[in-house]
Structures are given as structure tokens and as C-alpha cells.
Chains A and B, each alone.
Chain A
Amino acid sequence: MVKYFRDIWESLSTMMTGLGITWMHMVRIRQNNVTLQYPEEKWPRPERNIGFDHSNYNVIRSRLQVDIDDCIGCLKCERVCPVQCIKIVTEKAPVRGEDIKDVGHIGVTSTGSRKALVVTRFDIDMTECCYCNLCVYPCPEECIFMTGGPNAHKHPIDYEFSEYDRSDLIYRFAKKGTKDGMEKILDAKRAES
């Protein structure tokens, strides 16, 4: 008989303990919450550590990035691409090494080369890119590179570049309006001659 009541008491008290625990978790949700609202919140990226200095390690495979101001339009990356995901169209600049304000063309690259061509189209289709890094080596101006790693000072690493629409994965690096601007300039020239 004593055991009967002790059992009832024990079950009641342990139930209360359990209810207390869930209650405390419920009211402290702000501290205890483990869910991350992913696209809005992201975990901090862990410190990159591969066992040796980054600068020796030039083949980090994230996404391609182009410094279009430095591009001289040599098409070397387009030719070397094994999957032909890079498309470049260039127009001859009126004067070599001169700024063209209308189309945002800077005449001299950061390494001092005078640009003879205006890049009117520089598209990289990231759905086709195989991340082989081959386009990076031939670039004379080192303006096409993989983000992050040794290039982190130029562009932070970007490993989450999913899009809602497939066409948004075609990165258009050429400055907006370059094409129309160049056509206008060329038309004016033709009309002159």
C-alpha cells in the first residue's frame, strides 16, 4: 500500500520535473535556439587551414571572377576553356590606352598595359564551368581568378551561388552599356568617314 502511494508520488514528481524542463526550454528559446534561418543567416565561415601557406596553393576551386577593368580582351581564357563556357566579344578601341568615359573603359590596366580592345561581352556560364582553373594560368593580367584562397584580398570566397533561375548563373562581367556605347561610337566614326 505504501509502495502504491510512493509510486504515484514518484510519477507525479518526475512528471513535474519533465514539465519544468520543457517549460524552461520554451521560455528560453531566444538563447537556446539552434535553427539558423539559412538564406538570411549564415554560419561564420571557419578559418581556412590546409596545413601550409595559402600563397603556395593556387588552385582553390570556387567560382570564377573577372576584374573587367584589367581585362585586355586577349581571348586566351576563352580559347583554353575545355568546356567553352567563356564567351568574349571585343571591339577595337578608338585610341589605344585612352579612357572612354561613356562606356566605363579604362585605358590602362593596373599592371600598366595599355588596352587596345574594349570588352563588350564577357560571359561565363557557371552551369557549364568545370572548375578546372585552366583559364587562370594563361591570363597575362591575372584578371580572371577563382575567388577566395590566395585571391581572398581581391574577392572573398563565394561557395553559395545558387540561383532561382538557371539563366542567372551566366555571369556577365562586361560593364553594362559597353556594347551599346561602343556601337554608338563606331557608328559615329563610320558616319564621319
Chain B
Amino acid sequence: MTVDTLFTWLGGLIPAMEGSGTLLVIAILIPCLVLFLVVAVNAIVMVYAERKVAAFMQDRLGPMGQGVGLHAGKWGLLQTVADALKLLTKEDIIPEKADKLLFILAPFMIFVGAFVAVIAVPFGETVIVADFNIGIFYILAIGSMGVIGLILAGWSSNNKWSLYGGMRSAAQIVSYEIPAGLSIIVIIMLTGTLSMQGIIQYQEGGLFNWIIFANPFTFVAFFIFFISVVAETNRTPFDIPEAESELVGGFHTEYSGMRWSFFFLSEYANMLVVSAVASAGFLGGWHSPIPGYFDSNGWGIFWMMSKIVFLIFVMMWFRWTFPRLRVDQLMNICWKVFLPISLINIFGVGFWTLIFG
């Protein structure tokens, strides 16, 4: 584990403090800060990318700036930085009738749920904070913690739209956990391990050893998993909990400034986590598509990141292509289409493994 390695390394570095509690705290804080940096930079870059992708798909240019001065830099590259600064300096409003404790707690609950899951995400052969033997299960379990935050935010705002958004998100996330989980069972059946690194090591040896191409059922399972996690991250076309046009922002209607930006940060952190799970579970993680080429440790980070970025781009692509689903349509797809097909997938993968090896 990274923390243990750091702890012993720091102990060797400063022999006077070897084994002390202070060093342990430092050893815990270092990966924490690094991961926070990854999450924050990911959010900043992805917000910019999302605005550009959205604009290009709608024949616009998106954030643009010319030269220096009060513009947003070349091609609007500084737009997100300016937005972040604006959010930091904005007034923090807590509604009078809101449940103050829960109102303040909610954004942190959501962010912690998204952020803590990142520690089990393998970015490379050795680049992982904690390779649990139940890694993928841990990510699923912790990832669902965010829904508590959403309900808290909806409830504590004391606002009918927020409450409605919170309830919708609860219904949606609880439903879509099931097809996502069942699709993950397919991976676990093939690999026989819950550890993220174990799953990735199983897919060694090029494009056709990736689980997505292992058999026809896993191919279907990938799409079910991916669409389910898009629904779990509350992204359009499954954004009925926030639904700007009907719920005025849903659970984050009453939030402003930094608290609001924590919702956004956790949305993008969630996207990062689910894309990482999808690429680790189905797309070979940090393995190169060509066996034996570009397979060093550094290239591993590149492959993992490019897979994650590609999947995040597909999410953006979905967002700016499809209109929002109605609540009943959403439930229809989950319970009548994804659930039966993912159950069939499990049987299919079982039989396939039995017959073909």
C-alpha cells in the first residue's frame, strides 16, 4: 500500500521520528493532496472541455478570448480558472429556513463519496494509492455514498424543487446501481478477483484480451455498465435530479459559491471514477492495445488516462446529443431492459466460459 511505503520511506528519511504518529499523518496526507490535485485539475480541464465540446456540437465557438487583458486567454483557456476564482469569491448564502447542519454537510458528503473512491483507481501498474483485494466492490459501495449527500442537499434546502430532485436522484441511483453491479459481476466471474489490479492483469496481452472483447455477452455488459454509470453520475440524458429546465437545478438550487462548486467538483470526480472503473474493468486499464509495445509504466499512465478521457468525452457526447428522459422512461429502461439483459449476460458469460474455456 502506498501509505505504508511512504511511512517507511519517511521513517528512513527522518530517523528521529521513525514510527511516530506525525509521520503517519503526513504519509496519509501526501496521497490525499495528490489525489485532490488530480480531481481538481480533472474538473477544471473537463469543464473547459465540456464547454468546448458542447459549443462545437452546437456550431458555436465556446469560451474564446483574444490576446491579453480582461479576456479569457487564447481560445478561452483561462475561462475555467476565472470561473473558479469567481466561485471562490462569491457570497455563501444559507437559506433561513434551511436545516443548517445538513445543508453544510451535504456538499461534503457528496464530494467525499466521489473523492474517496479515487484511492482505489489504478492509474498505472504501480500508480495506485490502495490496491484493496475488494477494490471494485469498494468503489461501488463508496460511490453510492454520494446519493446520501444528494438526498441531504435536497431535504435540507427546504425547497420543493430541491426535495423533488433529491428524491428523484435517490430513485434513479438506487435503480441504476443494479444493472451496473450485475455488469460488474460479469467481470468478476471472468477474472475471479475483486482487486482492480487483478482485474487489469487478467486483461494482459492486447486489444482482444480486453474483457469487452472476451465474448459477446461482455460486449453487451460494457454498454449496460457504461449507460448505467452515466445515469448514476446524474448526467444528461439522465439528469432528472438536477433538470435545469424543470427543477431549476434540483438538489443544488439553493446552493451558491463554493458549496455549489463542490457539487460540480464531485460530479466531475464521479465521472473520473466511473470512467476509470469502466476502462479498468472492460477496456484493459493501463495495458496497451498492442501487446509488447508502449507497455512500460509511464505508457501505462498514458493509456489509462486516455481511456478515461475518451469515456468522459463519450459522456459529454451523450449529454449534448440526447434529450432528457422522463422519470417513467428512465425507470422503464432500467427495470425492463437493462436488468433482464444483464441477468441474461451473467448466464451467458457462465455458459460461454463453461463451453469455450
A residues near B (Cβ < 8 Å) are 8, 15, 18-19, 21-23, 25-26, 29, 32-35, 37, 40
13 examples of A-B residue contacts, CB within 8 angstroms: A15-B321, A19-B317, A21-B321, A25-B59, A29-B56, A29-B59, A33-B59, A33-B61, A35-B55, A35-B61, A35-B64, A37-B64, A37-B66
Nearest CB in chain B: distance from A100 CB, A: 40
Contacts of B58 in A (CB 8 A): 25
In the assembled complex, the Cα of A35 lies from the Cα of B64 at a distance in Å of 10
Find out whether the CB atom of B322 lies under 8 angstroms from the CB atom of A15. Answer: yes
For A37, the closest partner residue in chain B by CB is: B64
A40 CB contact (under 8 Å) in B55, B66, B317, B322: B66
Interface of A is mostly: helix
In the assembled complex, the Cα of A42 lies from the Cα of B53 at a distance in Å of 25
Nearest CB in chain B: distance from A158 CB, A: 22
In the assembled complex, the Cα of A26 lies from the Cα of B49 at a distance in Å of 12
For A18, the closest partner residue in chain B by CB is: B321
B60 CB contact (under 8 Å) in A15, A22, A33, A40: A33
B302 in contact (CB, < 8 A): no
B residues near A (Cβ < 8 Å) are 53, 55-61, 64, 66, 317-318, 320-322, 337
Interface centre among B55, B56, B320 (most CB of A within 10 A): B56
* Leading 4 A-B pairs by shortest Cβ distance: A35-B61, A26-B56, A22-B57, A29-B56
In the assembled complex, the Cα of A34 lies from the Cα of B53 at a distance in Å of 15
For B59, the closest partner residue in chain A by CB is: A32
Contacts of B322 in A (CB 8 A): 15, 18
Nearest CB in chain A: distance from B115 CB, A: 31
For A27, the closest partner residue in chain B by CB is: B56
A22 CB contact (under 8 Å) in B61, B66, B317, B337: B317
B337 CB contact (under 8 Å) in A8, A15, A19, A32: A8
For B227, the closest partner residue in chain A by CB is: A15
In the assembled complex, the Cα of A140 lies from the Cα of B205 at a distance in Å of 91
Interface centre among A18, A21, A26, A35 (most CB of B within 10 A): A26
Find out whether the CB atom of B321 lies under 8 angstroms from the CB atom of A19. Answer: yes
For A32, the closest partner residue in chain B by CB is: B59
Nearest CB in chain A: distance from B211 CB, A: 21
In the assembled complex, the Cα of A139 lies from the Cα of B64 at a distance in Å of 47
Nearest CB in chain A: distance from B67 CB, A: 10
Find out whether the CB atom of B321 lies under 8 angstroms from the CB atom of A26. Answer: no
| Given A8-B337, A23-B317, also A35-B56 (CB < 8 A) | no
List 9 extra interface pairs beyond A29-B56, A40-B66, CB under 8 A.
Answer: A19-B318, A22-B57, A25-B56, A25-B58, A29-B59, A33-B59, A33-B61, A35-B60, A37-B64
Contacts of B53 in A (CB 8 A): 26
| Given A19-B317, A37-B66, also A26-B57 (CB < 8 A) | yes
Find out whether the CB atom of A25 lies under 8 angstroms from the CB atom of B57. Answer: yes
Nearest CB in chain B: distance from A33 CB, A: 6
Contacts of A40 in B (CB 8 A): 66
Contacts of B56 in A (CB 8 A): 25-26, 29
A34 CB contact (under 8 Å) in B57, B60, B64, B66: B60
Contacts of B318 in A (CB 8 A): 19
Nearest CB in chain A: distance from B148 CB, A: 32
Find out whether the CB atom of A22 lies under 8 angstroms from the CB atom of B64. Answer: no
For B322, the closest partner residue in chain A by CB is: A18
In the assembled complex, the Cα of A8 lies from the Cα of B55 at a distance in Å of 30
Nearest CB in chain A: distance from B338 CB, A: 10
In the assembled complex, the Cα of A35 lies from the Cα of B58 at a distance in Å of 10
In the assembled complex, the Cα of A185 lies from the Cα of B255 at a distance in Å of 70
In the assembled complex, the Cα of A22 lies from the Cα of B53 at a distance in Å of 10
Contacts of A8 in B (CB 8 A): 337
Contacts of A19 in B (CB 8 A): 317-318, 321
For B341, the closest partner residue in chain A by CB is: A8
